[in-house]
Amino acid sequence: MTTVAVPSIKEGCFMVRGKAVLHGVPQNVSVKPVTLQSVFIGAKSTSPSSHHIFTLGHLEAKIWWMIPRVGESANQIPVETQMLLQGARRDSAASLQGNTKNELQLRFESGKLAINRSTDSTAMLSEDPVSCARTFATRVSGDTNVQTTEALESVLVNSGDNLFEVIKDSINSKKSAVARASEDFMPRESTFQTLHVTSVAFNGLLLGEVMVPDWDMFQTVHDKAEFHAAARAAGSCPVYISNKPWNHDFKILEKLVLPDGSVLRAKYAGVFNCQGAGPWPLKQGGLQKPITTLTFPPISTNLRPVHVEFLEEVAGENWNGDCAVYAFNSGSLVRLPKSRSTEVSLRTFSCKVYTISPIQGVEFAPIGLLDMYNSGGALEALNFRNTDLLGCTVDVKMRGCGWFGGYSSVKPRHCRVDMEEAKFSFSDEDNLLIVKLPKECYFRVINIVY
């Protein structure tokens, strides 16, 4: 006796291995066996059209979400993949989608220009309209043939009839201004680290315009803890951890969070580049040998101040283009014109944080709190004023405690913190000025007198 496990439709249910995956399957939906374990599923329409949406039935099974992946061969399909869509190479398109009735729908389009409708190149099933924006934002496969109406119609399909109410609900929050920008990931899976951070970095570009992106929790006692901590600082996002009880690395936490529990958030979000988050070496060296993110060779690039957005807005009109570049990892400070560059080399899962500040006035550039990842996030305002015929004073308004640092072309005569004399050190080698701040974390003014 031979028992087959071919999927079938019985009594209005789509059966797979004896279990009902879809309930309430319409009569116009049919299946055609291909092998003993697979079938083609299709539907018939009573009227011809270049655009069809067929209801396949109610989906009541649990779906595990994962980072969307795009590939061209079977060996690129990740482990535990539960749904695949094949992209048509011509103008026609077919995809899966859901609706508010928990129905799974099959969508077909001819691709004719005479039909003014959009296609869903990415399929999803969710009642949360924001999750549609997340899927749309993670399309990093290089496919730029995506129009605005495609994303909007996909939201409309999943959320009702009034599109404006959907948009209003997705960008408003009564209890919190924080929006999650990531999917769940497993800290023990080494290959998920760079993919996770890359995903939330891209999603943060979209969500950061209307909400505060949430980059998800991380573990400080972890071999990639420094990597994740630097990402949270660059993203200017809330910080929360998932450590085991009484198992914390406070050295990392002290670089992210001030003693009063607040975090440093820059006015403009930083830039985060991930080495190992994409298969570039595969394209360069071929596909003969499998390569994992653990075997990626180091990459080198050039860091230029001109690449920083809004830098001229911060510098002001009289800026000559010179910048002070502070390397957090090494604690070094260099002077760099905006068109010049410095080389940066990174291994997989390593990170380097740089603070770039335009040099102004008496050639002074504030860096911020030297012992924090997001050093410049402590700065609030900067003012130059002439005090007498021979000198001037730089007023720096900031918050936090620890060590304040800045670039200074010459050694100042003295420094004051909240109108009281403060000790400072100055290095003639790299022009690094360091001022010791009190332990209390509040807004304060530093006066640097020349």
Q: What digits encode the pLDDT tens for the residues 288-299? A: 444 444 567 788
pTM of the predicted model, to two decimals?
Answer: 0.52
Residue 118 has a pLDDT of 40
Question: For residue range 314-339, what is the model confidence (pLDDT) as tens digits?
Answer: 787 778 888 888 888 888 888 888 88
Rounded distance between C-alpha atoms, residue 57 and residue 224, angstroms: 44
Rounded distance between C-alpha atoms, residue 298 and residue 351, angstroms: 12
Question: For residue range 227-240, what is the model confidence (pLDDT) as tens digits?
Answer: 888 888 877 777 87
List, in order of start, the domains of the chain with CATH numbers: 45-127 (no CATH), 298-449 (2.60.40)
| CA torsion angle 128 133 137 138 (round to 10) | 20
Rounded distance between C-alpha atoms, residue 132 and residue 242, angstroms: 27
Residue 146 has a pLDDT of 42
Query: pLDDT-based confidence at 397, cuts 50/70/90?
Result: very high
Query: pLDDT-based confidence at 139, cuts 50/70/90?
Result: very low
Rounded distance between C-alpha atoms, residue 117 and residue 112, angstroms: 9
Question: For residue range 266-281, what is the model confidence (pLDDT) as tens digits?
Answer: 766 556 555 544 444 4
